[in-house]
Structure 1
Amino acid sequence: MPTEDMAHLRELLAGFGDVAMRPMFGGHGVYREGMIFAIVMEGDLYLTVDADSRARFEAAGCAPFVYSMKGRPLPLSYWSVPAEALEAADAMLPWAELAWAAALRKQAARRRGRRRR
């Protein structure tokens, strides 16, 4: 993603708290409080979804990020955002909150899984 686009993304997320962007696998991971909640791949932003939030993304016409592994498509739990969310912070923040909530639920589920072992 070009530097100016990353700067725009920072502006969109300015009201969302301390957000860090780190290079990863040819794109960037977007972190809050050290936890990833979004990725930027091939110049597009994708937010974390889970079973509780997926329907909202589907209803808004968003699509999953699909990674190709050994020639086979592998959809990940990151979905695109509606176009209007990329235009203004007040449109982006509700989507970022959904992604953050999904990331927190995933983290809690992983911790519960570790305790059971």
Structure 2
Amino acid sequence: MAALITVTDNSFDAQVLKSDLLVITEFWAEWCVPCKALQPVLNDIADVYGNLVKVVRVDIEENPMVTSSYEVLVIPTLILFKNGVIVERMNLEQAKDELREKVGFYLREFAR
């Protein structure tokens, strides 16, 4: 089972922006019920695509710099990065099939 990686203001650049992998970044908070509902979906994505995709989580309350930098106003917010560039941003809880579809799309795009 691939684990979700906790990212902080200090580790964001190294873990997300400098990664060669497609990075799914979830902005969340402990008290956020939709965030908790999304966690099994993210765990599943990490398990299925573990060697091609990195799934990370940023706690908005503990990491205000990154949260502010990406103008996260609603949680959960998912931002997909590739080579430090935002390729997709989702502000609402996404169904597993839709997120998987987007991950598959970007993996095919970047494999070219």
Task: Return the structure number with greater strand share.
Answer: 1
**TM-score, structure 1 length as denominator?**
0.35
Higher RCO, 1 vs 2 (CA within 8 Å, ≥6 residues apart): 2
**TM-score, structure 2 length as denominator?**
0.36
